[in-house]
C-alpha cells in the first residue's frame, strides 16, 4: 500500500468514526428530550403523545389535592387558568409543593387521560417560576381576555356605540 493510499484510508476511517459517534450522540439526545405542554395545548387535542414522556406545567388548583392516609399517592389538577389536567403522582412531593404553587410534572398520559407523573418539580423561591409555566400562563391570560372581548362584542349587539 502506498503512503497516499494509507493516508486516504486513515482519513476516511476518521470521518466514518466521527459520523457514527455524532449519529449515536444525536439519537441518545433525542430520546432524552422532554417537550413541555400547557394544559390548554393538551385539552385542545392538537397533540398526540404516543406513550412518550413529556412535561406538563402550571399552577396546582386550589382544593384539588387528594391524598390517601398512609399512602404516598396524590392526585391533583394543574391549570394554566384556562384548562386543567389531572395529575397522579406516587412518591414524596417536594417541600415547596402546595395549592396555588407553580409546578412542572414529568411523566406520561394513561389510557384514561390522567397524567401519571414520575417526577414533580416545584418553584424554588417566591419570585421564580419556570419559563415554560410563565409563558403558558401569559398565553392563557391573553386567550381569556380575547374571549371576554368577543363575548362583550356579541352582547353589545350591532349598532351600539360606546
Known binding-site residues equal 124, 128
Which 8-state DSSP code applies to residue 137?
Answer: H
The pLDDT score that the predictor gives to residue 20 is 92
Binding site feature residues for heme: 124, 128
d(CA 84, CA 39): 5
pLDDT given for residue 160 in this prediction: 55
With cut-offs at 50, 70 and 90, classify the pLDDT of residue 144. Answer: confident
Instruction: Tell me the pLDDT band of 1, cut-offs 50, 70 and 90.
Output: confident
| Stretch 53-67: mean pLDDT | 90
pLDDT value, residue 71: 81
Is 135 or 62 the better-scoring residue by pLDDT?
62
Yes or no: say if 140 and 102 are a contact pair by the CB < 8 Å rule. no
Domain residue limits, the chain: 1-33, 35-156
Q: Does domain 35-156 have CATH number 2.40.50.140?
A: yes
Whether the predicted pLDDT of 155 surpasses 90: no
Please give the span between the terminal C-alpha atoms of the chain, in angstroms, as a whole number.
91
Amino acid at each position: 500500500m502506498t503512503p497516499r493510499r494509507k493516508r486516504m484510508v486513515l482519513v476516511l476511517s476518521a470521518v466514518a468514526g466521527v459520523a457514527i459517534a455524532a449519529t449515536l450522540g444525536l439519537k441518545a439526545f433525542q430520546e432524552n428530550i422532554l417537550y413541555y405542554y400547557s394544559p390548554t395545548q393538551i385539552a385542545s387535542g392538537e397533540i398526540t403523545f404516543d406513550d412518550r414522556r413529556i412535561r406538563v406545567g402550571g399552577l396546582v388548583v386550589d382544593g384539588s389535592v387528594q391524598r390517601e392516609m398512609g399512602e404516598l399517592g396524590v392526585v391533583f389538577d394543574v391549570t394554566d387558568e384556562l384548562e386543567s389536567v389531572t395529575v397522579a403522582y406516587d412518591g414524596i412531593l417536594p417541600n415547596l409543593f402546595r395549592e396555588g404553587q407553580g409546578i412542572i410534572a414529568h411523566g406520561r398520559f394513561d389510557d384514561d387521560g390522567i397524567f401519571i407523573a414520575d417526577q414533580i418539580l416545584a418553584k424554588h423561591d417566591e419570585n421564580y417560576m419556570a419559563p415554560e409555566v410563565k409563558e403558558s400562563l401569559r398565553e392563557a391570560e391573553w386567550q381569556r381576555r380575547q374571549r371576554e372581548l368577543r363575548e362583550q362584542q356579541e352582547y353589545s349587539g350591532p349598532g351600539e356605540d360606546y
